[in-house]
Amino acid sequence: MLAIFLRTLPFFALIGLGYGAGRARFFPPQATAALTKFVFYFALTAMLFRFSATLPIGELFDPAFLAAYLTGSVLVWAIGFAVARARGLPLAEAAMEAHACMTGNTGFLGVPMLVVLLGPQAAGPVLMVLTADMVVFSTLITVIVTAARQGRVAPGPIALGLLRNPMIVSMAAGLAWSGLHLPMPQAFADFLALLGAAATPGALFAIGASLAATSAERPGPAAWLSFAKLVLHPAAVAGMALWLFPVEPFAAGVMIAAAALPVAGNVYILAAYFGIAMQRVSSAILISTAVSILTIPGVIAWVTHH
Protein backbone atom coordinates (compact mmCIF):
# COMPACT_ATOMS: atom_id res chain seq x y z
CA MET A 1 0.00 0.00 0.00
CA LEU A 2 2.78 2.46 0.91
CA ALA A 3 4.66 1.64 -2.30
CA ILE A 4 1.54 2.28 -4.41
CA PHE A 5 0.85 5.51 -2.53
CA LEU A 6 4.38 6.73 -3.22
CA ARG A 7 3.97 5.90 -6.91
CA THR A 8 0.71 7.86 -7.15
CA LEU A 9 2.02 10.76 -5.06
CA PRO A 10 3.82 12.54 -7.95
CA PHE A 11 0.57 12.66 -9.93
CA PHE A 12 -1.31 14.28 -7.06
CA ALA A 13 1.70 16.51 -6.34
CA LEU A 14 1.29 17.92 -9.85
CA ILE A 15 -2.39 18.56 -9.12
CA GLY A 16 -1.36 20.26 -5.87
CA LEU A 17 1.19 22.37 -7.71
CA GLY A 18 -1.48 23.55 -10.13
CA TYR A 19 -3.85 24.23 -7.24
CA GLY A 20 -1.22 26.33 -5.44
CA ALA A 21 -0.42 28.30 -8.59
CA GLY A 22 -4.12 28.95 -9.12
CA ARG A 23 -4.79 29.98 -5.53
CA ALA A 24 -1.82 32.36 -5.59
CA ARG A 25 -3.15 33.85 -8.85
CA PHE A 26 0.26 33.14 -10.39
CA PHE A 27 -1.72 31.02 -12.84
CA PRO A 28 -4.96 32.99 -13.46
CA PRO A 29 -8.19 31.48 -14.81
CA GLN A 30 -7.36 32.65 -18.33
CA ALA A 31 -4.11 30.68 -18.25
CA THR A 32 -5.92 27.63 -16.90
CA ALA A 33 -8.43 27.82 -19.73
CA ALA A 34 -5.66 28.08 -22.30
CA LEU A 35 -3.72 25.16 -20.81
CA THR A 36 -6.89 23.05 -20.65
CA LYS A 37 -7.60 23.80 -24.31
CA PHE A 38 -4.05 22.82 -25.30
CA VAL A 39 -4.28 19.52 -23.42
CA PHE A 40 -7.80 18.75 -24.63
CA TYR A 41 -7.31 19.57 -28.32
CA PHE A 42 -3.64 18.69 -28.84
CA ALA A 43 -1.68 16.75 -26.22
CA LEU A 44 -4.37 14.35 -25.00
CA THR A 45 -5.74 13.73 -28.49
CA ALA A 46 -2.23 12.87 -29.70
CA MET A 47 -1.86 10.40 -26.82
CA LEU A 48 -5.26 8.82 -27.49
CA PHE A 49 -4.64 8.56 -31.23
CA ARG A 50 -1.26 6.91 -30.67
CA PHE A 51 -2.72 4.39 -28.23
CA SER A 52 -5.71 3.48 -30.40
CA ALA A 53 -3.71 3.40 -33.66
CA THR A 54 -1.17 0.94 -32.26
CA LEU A 55 -3.59 -1.40 -30.47
CA PRO A 56 -5.50 -4.23 -32.15
CA ILE A 57 -9.19 -3.35 -32.44
CA GLY A 58 -10.06 -6.52 -30.51
CA GLU A 59 -8.32 -5.08 -27.44
CA LEU A 60 -10.55 -2.00 -27.52
CA PHE A 61 -13.90 -3.76 -27.89
CA ASP A 62 -14.25 -6.64 -25.49
CA PRO A 63 -18.00 -7.40 -25.17
CA ALA A 64 -17.69 -8.88 -21.66
CA PHE A 65 -15.66 -5.88 -20.47
CA LEU A 66 -18.14 -3.37 -21.87
CA ALA A 67 -21.11 -5.33 -20.48
CA ALA A 68 -19.56 -5.41 -16.99
CA TYR A 69 -18.63 -1.72 -17.00
CA LEU A 70 -21.92 -0.52 -18.44
CA THR A 71 -24.02 -2.69 -16.12
CA GLY A 72 -22.15 -1.57 -12.99
CA SER A 73 -22.21 2.07 -14.09
CA VAL A 74 -25.93 1.99 -14.91
CA LEU A 75 -26.59 0.52 -11.46
CA VAL A 76 -24.75 3.40 -9.76
CA TRP A 77 -26.45 5.89 -12.10
CA ALA A 78 -29.84 4.49 -11.07
CA ILE A 79 -28.95 4.70 -7.37
CA GLY A 80 -27.82 8.31 -7.72
CA PHE A 81 -30.94 9.17 -9.69
CA ALA A 82 -33.24 7.51 -7.13
CA VAL A 83 -31.56 9.30 -4.20
CA ALA A 84 -31.87 12.66 -5.98
CA ARG A 85 -35.54 12.10 -6.80
CA ALA A 86 -36.20 11.02 -3.20
CA ARG A 87 -34.82 14.43 -2.13
CA GLY A 88 -37.41 16.08 -4.36
CA LEU A 89 -35.09 17.19 -7.17
CA PRO A 90 -36.59 17.67 -10.64
CA LEU A 91 -35.76 15.25 -13.45
CA ALA A 92 -32.90 17.21 -15.02
CA GLU A 93 -31.12 17.88 -11.70
CA ALA A 94 -31.52 14.25 -10.64
CA ALA A 95 -29.99 13.11 -13.92
CA MET A 96 -27.03 15.48 -13.48
CA GLU A 97 -26.34 14.15 -9.98
CA ALA A 98 -26.60 10.58 -11.28
CA HIS A 99 -24.11 11.50 -14.02
CA ALA A 100 -21.66 12.79 -11.40
CA CYS A 101 -21.97 9.54 -9.42
CA MET A 102 -20.36 7.44 -12.15
CA THR A 103 -18.39 9.70 -14.52
CA GLY A 104 -14.73 9.66 -13.55
CA ASN A 105 -11.83 11.83 -14.66
CA THR A 106 -10.64 9.16 -17.09
CA GLY A 107 -9.38 11.47 -19.82
CA PHE A 108 -7.28 13.93 -17.82
CA LEU A 109 -6.27 11.68 -14.91
CA GLY A 110 -7.00 8.05 -15.73
CA VAL A 111 -5.28 7.73 -19.11
CA PRO A 112 -2.00 9.35 -18.01
CA MET A 113 -1.84 7.79 -14.54
CA LEU A 114 -3.13 4.26 -15.02
CA VAL A 115 -1.02 3.62 -18.12
CA VAL A 116 2.09 4.65 -16.18
CA LEU A 117 1.18 2.75 -13.00
CA LEU A 118 -0.26 -0.43 -14.54
CA GLY A 119 1.72 -0.58 -17.78
CA PRO A 120 1.08 0.12 -21.48
CA GLN A 121 -1.27 -2.88 -21.67
CA ALA A 122 -3.72 -0.88 -19.54
CA ALA A 123 -4.33 1.52 -22.45
CA GLY A 124 -6.97 -0.67 -24.11
CA PRO A 125 -9.20 -1.10 -21.03
CA VAL A 126 -8.85 2.58 -20.07
CA LEU A 127 -9.86 3.67 -23.56
CA MET A 128 -12.90 1.38 -23.41
CA VAL A 129 -13.97 3.05 -20.15
CA LEU A 130 -13.39 6.50 -21.66
CA THR A 131 -15.40 5.60 -24.77
CA ALA A 132 -18.33 4.26 -22.73
CA ASP A 133 -18.40 7.39 -20.55
CA MET A 134 -18.28 9.82 -23.45
CA VAL A 135 -20.50 8.03 -25.96
CA VAL A 136 -23.08 6.31 -23.74
CA PHE A 137 -23.44 8.40 -20.60
CA SER A 138 -22.73 11.87 -22.03
CA THR A 139 -25.39 11.12 -24.63
CA LEU A 140 -27.77 9.88 -21.91
CA ILE A 141 -27.53 13.03 -19.79
CA THR A 142 -27.95 15.22 -22.89
CA VAL A 143 -31.04 13.30 -23.97
CA ILE A 144 -32.66 13.46 -20.51
CA VAL A 145 -32.01 17.16 -19.94
CA THR A 146 -33.16 18.05 -23.46
CA ALA A 147 -36.30 15.93 -23.11
CA ALA A 148 -37.09 17.40 -19.67
CA ARG A 149 -36.82 20.95 -20.99
CA GLN A 150 -38.23 20.68 -24.50
CA GLY A 151 -40.38 17.58 -24.32
CA ARG A 152 -38.55 16.05 -27.28
CA VAL A 153 -35.13 14.75 -28.32
CA ALA A 154 -33.26 16.17 -31.32
CA PRO A 155 -30.68 13.61 -32.53
CA GLY A 156 -28.88 16.11 -34.77
CA PRO A 157 -27.36 18.32 -32.02
CA ILE A 158 -26.41 15.25 -29.99
CA ALA A 159 -24.54 13.66 -32.90
CA LEU A 160 -22.88 17.00 -33.72
CA GLY A 161 -21.75 17.36 -30.11
CA LEU A 162 -20.11 13.93 -30.20
CA LEU A 163 -18.35 14.73 -33.47
CA ARG A 164 -16.99 17.96 -31.98
CA ASN A 165 -15.34 16.10 -29.10
CA PRO A 166 -11.64 15.80 -30.05
CA MET A 167 -11.13 12.75 -27.82
CA ILE A 168 -13.84 10.83 -29.65
CA VAL A 169 -12.52 11.96 -33.04
CA SER A 170 -8.92 11.05 -32.18
CA MET A 171 -9.87 7.59 -30.94
CA ALA A 172 -12.08 6.97 -34.00
CA ALA A 173 -9.24 8.06 -36.30
CA GLY A 174 -6.79 5.84 -34.43
CA LEU A 175 -9.14 2.86 -34.68
CA ALA A 176 -9.51 3.46 -38.41
CA TRP A 177 -5.72 3.61 -38.74
CA SER A 178 -5.36 0.36 -36.81
CA GLY A 179 -8.20 -1.36 -38.67
CA LEU A 180 -6.70 -0.48 -42.05
CA HIS A 181 -3.26 -1.72 -40.87
CA LEU A 182 -1.62 1.49 -42.03
CA PRO A 183 2.10 1.83 -41.34
CA MET A 184 3.19 4.40 -38.76
CA PRO A 185 6.10 6.46 -40.12
CA GLN A 186 8.80 6.92 -37.49
CA ALA A 187 8.73 10.71 -37.74
CA PHE A 188 4.96 10.72 -37.22
CA ALA A 189 5.26 8.31 -34.29
CA ASP A 190 7.94 10.51 -32.69
CA PHE A 191 5.75 13.59 -33.19
CA LEU A 192 2.79 11.89 -31.50
CA ALA A 193 4.97 10.66 -28.64
CA LEU A 194 6.48 14.10 -28.09
CA LEU A 195 3.14 15.91 -28.16
CA GLY A 196 1.37 13.19 -26.14
CA ALA A 197 4.05 13.37 -23.44
CA ALA A 198 2.75 16.84 -22.57
CA ALA A 199 -0.68 15.41 -21.73
CA THR A 200 0.23 13.99 -18.32
CA PRO A 201 1.84 17.04 -16.65
CA GLY A 202 -0.39 19.48 -18.50
CA ALA A 203 -3.63 17.72 -17.60
CA LEU A 204 -2.73 17.23 -13.95
CA PHE A 205 -1.57 20.84 -13.53
CA ALA A 206 -4.76 22.05 -15.25
CA ILE A 207 -6.92 19.94 -12.91
CA GLY A 208 -5.31 21.55 -9.87
CA ALA A 209 -5.48 25.07 -11.28
CA SER A 210 -9.16 24.66 -12.13
CA LEU A 211 -9.92 23.37 -8.62
CA ALA A 212 -8.40 26.54 -7.16
CA ALA A 213 -11.49 28.45 -8.27
CA THR A 214 -13.85 25.91 -6.65
CA SER A 215 -15.29 26.21 -3.15
CA ALA A 216 -16.74 23.27 -1.22
CA GLU A 217 -20.17 24.75 -0.61
CA ARG A 218 -23.21 22.51 -0.06
CA PRO A 219 -20.92 19.77 1.34
CA GLY A 220 -23.74 17.35 2.19
CA PRO A 221 -24.91 16.51 -1.37
CA ALA A 222 -21.32 16.84 -2.66
CA ALA A 223 -20.07 14.36 -0.05
CA TRP A 224 -22.76 11.88 -1.14
CA LEU A 225 -21.79 12.29 -4.81
CA SER A 226 -18.12 11.80 -3.90
CA PHE A 227 -18.93 8.64 -1.90
CA ALA A 228 -20.94 7.24 -4.80
CA LYS A 229 -18.10 7.92 -7.24
CA LEU A 230 -15.16 6.75 -5.10
CA VAL A 231 -16.83 3.80 -3.36
CA LEU A 232 -20.07 2.67 -4.99
CA HIS A 233 -18.87 2.91 -8.58
CA PRO A 234 -15.72 0.77 -8.24
CA ALA A 235 -17.61 -1.69 -6.00
CA ALA A 236 -20.40 -2.05 -8.57
CA VAL A 237 -18.14 -2.63 -11.58
CA ALA A 238 -15.98 -4.98 -9.50
CA GLY A 239 -19.02 -7.08 -8.71
CA MET A 240 -20.04 -7.22 -12.37
CA ALA A 241 -16.53 -7.91 -13.69
CA LEU A 242 -15.56 -10.53 -11.10
CA TRP A 243 -18.81 -12.43 -10.62
CA LEU A 244 -21.33 -11.76 -13.39
CA PHE A 245 -19.28 -11.38 -16.59
CA PRO A 246 -16.12 -13.32 -17.56
CA VAL A 247 -13.72 -10.36 -17.76
CA GLU A 248 -10.01 -11.15 -18.02
CA PRO A 249 -8.40 -10.47 -14.60
CA PHE A 250 -5.96 -7.74 -15.67
CA ALA A 251 -8.61 -5.88 -17.67
CA ALA A 252 -11.02 -6.21 -14.74
CA GLY A 253 -8.41 -4.65 -12.44
CA VAL A 254 -7.90 -1.72 -14.81
CA MET A 255 -11.68 -1.24 -15.03
CA ILE A 256 -12.03 -1.16 -11.24
CA ALA A 257 -9.13 1.31 -10.91
CA ALA A 258 -10.67 3.55 -13.60
CA ALA A 259 -14.04 3.44 -11.81
CA ALA A 260 -12.30 4.62 -8.61
CA LEU A 261 -11.26 7.93 -10.23
CA PRO A 262 -12.79 11.17 -8.86
CA VAL A 263 -15.66 13.04 -10.50
CA ALA A 264 -14.67 14.33 -13.93
CA GLY A 265 -14.27 17.99 -14.71
CA ASN A 266 -16.39 17.63 -17.84
CA VAL A 267 -19.40 16.93 -15.60
CA TYR A 268 -19.11 20.53 -14.42
CA ILE A 269 -18.80 21.68 -18.04
CA LEU A 270 -22.11 19.95 -18.79
CA ALA A 271 -23.69 21.31 -15.59
CA ALA A 272 -22.61 24.85 -16.49
CA TYR A 273 -23.79 24.43 -20.08
CA PHE A 274 -27.26 23.35 -18.95
CA GLY A 275 -27.28 25.61 -15.85
CA ILE A 276 -28.01 22.66 -13.53
CA ALA A 277 -26.52 21.82 -10.09
CA MET A 278 -23.28 23.65 -10.82
CA GLN A 279 -22.30 24.25 -7.17
CA ARG A 280 -23.02 20.66 -6.12
CA VAL A 281 -21.01 19.26 -9.02
CA SER A 282 -18.03 21.59 -8.54
CA SER A 283 -17.94 20.79 -4.81
CA ALA A 284 -18.10 17.07 -5.60
CA ILE A 285 -15.15 17.41 -7.98
CA LEU A 286 -13.11 19.20 -5.30
CA ILE A 287 -14.00 16.76 -2.49
CA SER A 288 -13.63 13.58 -4.54
CA THR A 289 -10.29 14.69 -6.00
CA ALA A 290 -8.91 15.49 -2.54
CA VAL A 291 -10.13 12.22 -1.00
CA SER A 292 -8.93 10.15 -3.98
CA ILE A 293 -5.34 10.88 -2.94
CA LEU A 294 -5.92 8.15 -0.35
CA THR A 295 -8.57 5.98 -2.01
CA ILE A 296 -6.96 5.46 -5.44
CA PRO A 297 -3.71 3.98 -4.02
CA GLY A 298 -5.84 1.63 -1.92
CA VAL A 299 -7.84 0.46 -4.94
CA ILE A 300 -4.75 0.04 -7.13
CA ALA A 301 -3.00 -1.89 -4.35
CA TRP A 302 -6.03 -4.18 -4.07
CA VAL A 303 -6.35 -4.89 -7.80
CA THR A 304 -2.63 -5.50 -8.26
CA HIS A 305 -2.55 -8.04 -5.41
CA HIS A 306 -5.85 -9.77 -6.16
Tell which wins on pLDDT, 68 or 172.
Answer: 68
**pTM surpassing 0.85?**
no
In angstroms, the CA 93 to CA 136 distance is 19
Best CA proximity match to 289, nearest among 220, 211, 219, 231: 211
Please give the residue range of the domain that contains residue 130: 2-172+188-305
In angstroms, the CA 159 to CA 161 distance is 5
Highest-confidence segment of 35-44, 229-238, 287-296: 229-238
Q: Is 90 exceeded by the pLDDT of residue 163?
A: no
- pLDDT score, position 300: 92
Between 44-48, 113-117, 228-232, 266-270, the lowest mean confidence (pLDDT) is in 266-270
User: What is the average per-residue pLDDT within 166-193?
Assistant: 89
Task: Say if 206 falls within a structural domain.
Answer: yes
Angle between helices 2-23 and 111-118 (to 10 degrees): 150
| pLDDT band with cut points at 50, 70 and 90 for residue 136 | confident
Task: Say if 180 falls within a structural domain.
Answer: no
Give residues with Cβ within 8 angstroms of 84, minimum separation 6: 93, 94, 97, 98
Task: Say if 99 falls within a structural domain.
Answer: yes
Task: Say if 25 falls within a structural domain.
Answer: yes
Task: Say if 177 falls within a structural domain.
Answer: no
Task: Say if 181 falls within a structural domain.
Answer: no
Task: Say if 137 falls within a structural domain.
Answer: yes
- pLDDT score, position 256: 97
Pair 78, 239: CB distance under 8 Å: no
Task: Say if 97 falls within a structural domain.
Answer: yes
User: What is the average per-residue pLDDT within 237-250?
Assistant: 93
Tell which wins on pLDDT, 288 or 216.
Answer: 288
Q: How many domains does the chain have?
A: 1
Burial class (CB in 10 A: 0-12, 13-18, 19+), 159: exposed
Highest-confidence segment of 40-49, 136-145, 230-239, 286-295: 230-239
- CATH code (residue 291): 1.20.1530.20
Q: Is 70 exceeded by the pLDDT of residue 215?
A: no
In angstroms, the CA 43 to CA 40 distance is 7
- pLDDT score, position 5: 81
Q: Is 80 exceeded by the pLDDT of residue 227?
A: yes
User: What is the average per-residue pLDDT within 94-106?
Assistant: 94
In angstroms, the CA 215 to CA 9 distance is 23
Q: Is 80 exceeded by the pLDDT of residue 232?
A: yes
Q: Is 80 exceeded by the pLDDT of residue 211?
A: yes
Q: Each residue of 121-132: pLDDT tens digit?
A: 898 899 899 888
